[in-house]
Amino acid sequence: MKIGFIGLGIMGKPMAKNLIRGGYNLTVYDLNQAAVAEVAACGAQEAQDIAGAAKDADVLITMVPNSPQVKQVLIEKGGAIEFLKKGAVVIDCSSINPMASREIAALLADRGIEMLDAPVSGGEPKAVDGTLAFMVGGKREVFEAHKELLSHMGSSVVLCGGIGAGNVTKLCNQIMVAVNIAGVAEALMLGQHAGVAPEKIFEAIKGGLAGSTVLNAKAPMMMDQNFKPGFRIDLHIKDLNNVVDAARSVDAPIPLTQSVLEMMKILHRDGDGACDHSSLVKYYQKLTGEALHH
């Protein structure tokens, strides 16, 4: 199986490396030539453009920032749709608007190309160790034929429904993560103001009902004031804007999402957009004038 891989950013680069470790034949492309060279050093072939990554591919995996970039890579002039062979499969791991996934899939289908939308959760650490959670939309038979491929990059690979269902599920995931992080920040700041060490609060509640993967990952970062990005505020804003668009299209209420989105937009305006989304605690620190600490 020949695989083309387009998009070697924070997530795509380690995902591609895990496929190489899994024994797959990869041809990779990214605008960042240093990233391409790094993955090529692990055993991939270098493509000079989209055509080079797509023309011989049985499967083309894309991992780019948002709907416009996915459309540019796949269906616009010079996109992969012009070079993929009939019978090829596109697996888009980008987190985009579900409506865009359905639009792209329909155009690919007209050329005899199948598609799965397969966004991921877990951030850079899980991309590196190959334990991402894949939320997949598409035909069951296409999913089953490529589940093993995805399992080399993730520990959870779930078919959520037809095309677009993966990105609907990812938007639900991003709501839960954003609101959870904001809740952790709010709770720890309250505890500190009330005279209880945030570290003790974390230690006491992490094994109970309020415990979560988000709490375990983000509370220590908040207390350490370590906001090196695993998942940037700006990317989460992008996802929550997609939530707003999707919610509007189906008339779903999202008051909590709207509140956290406004908090993130304030952080972006203050220059924190490149920080990890655990930096939501900075919103509370700006309100109180006090930093969270151990």
Using only C-alpha atoms, the chain has a radius of gyration, in whole angstroms, of 20
Confidence of residue 227 (pLDDT cuts 50, 70, 90): very high
CA nearest neighbour of 138 among 111, 106, 110, 112: 106
Q: What is the pLDDT of residue 39?
A: 98
Angle ∠(131,132,136) on CA atoms, nearest 5: 135
Rounded mean pLDDT, 21-41: 97
Q: Which two tokens stand for residue 120?
A: 């991921």
Q: How confident is the model at residue 230 (pLDDT cuts 50, 70, 90)?
A: confident
pLDDT at 211: 97
Assess whether pLDDT exceeds 90 at residue 144. yes
How far is 284 from 280, CA to CA, in rounded Å?
A: 7
Per DSSP, what are the bridge partners of residue 62? 6, 92
Query: Mean of the pLDDT values across residues 248-260?
Result: 96
Catalytic center residues: 170
pLDDT of 38 above 90: yes
What's the chain's average pLDDT? 97
* Confidence at residue 188, expressed as pLDDT on a 0 to 100 scale: 98
- Residue-level pLDDT at 256: 98
Question: Which domains can be identified in the chain, with CATH numbers?
Answer: 2-162 (3.40.50.720), 168-288 (1.10.1040.10)
Q: What is the DSSP letter of 195?
A: T
Residue 123: its pLDDT value, please?
Answer: 86
The closest of 22, 6, 17, 107 to 63, measured between CA atoms, is 6
- 92, 101 Cβ separation under 8 angstroms: yes
Q: Return the pLDDT at 294.
A: 86
Q: At what angle do helices 165-193 and 98-110 cross, to 10 degrees?
A: 160
Task: Give pLDDT tens digits for 57-109.
Answer: 999 999 999 999 999 999 999 999 999 999 999 999 999 999 999 999 999 99
CA distance 87 to 236: 34
252 burial (CB, 10 Å; 0-12 / 13-18 / 19+) is exposed
Q: List beta partners, residue 2.
A: 25
The DSSP string of 84-134 is PPTT-EEEE-S---HHHHHHHHHHHHHTT-EEEE--EESHHHHHHHT-EEE
Q: Which residue has the tokens 């930093």?
A: 291
Q: The tokens of 166 are what?
A: 């993966």
Rounded CA gap, 84 and 79, in Å? Answer: 9
Instruction: From residue 57, give the alpha-carbon distance in Å to each of 84, 115, 252.
Output: 7, 13, 39
The band of 190, judged by pLDDT with boundaries at 50, 70 and 90, is: very high
First-to-last C-alpha distance (Å) of the chain: 50
CA–CA gap between residue 28 and residue 3 (Å, rounded): 8
At 62 the pLDDT is 98
The pLDDT value given to residue 43: 97
Tokens describing residue 246 = 């999707």
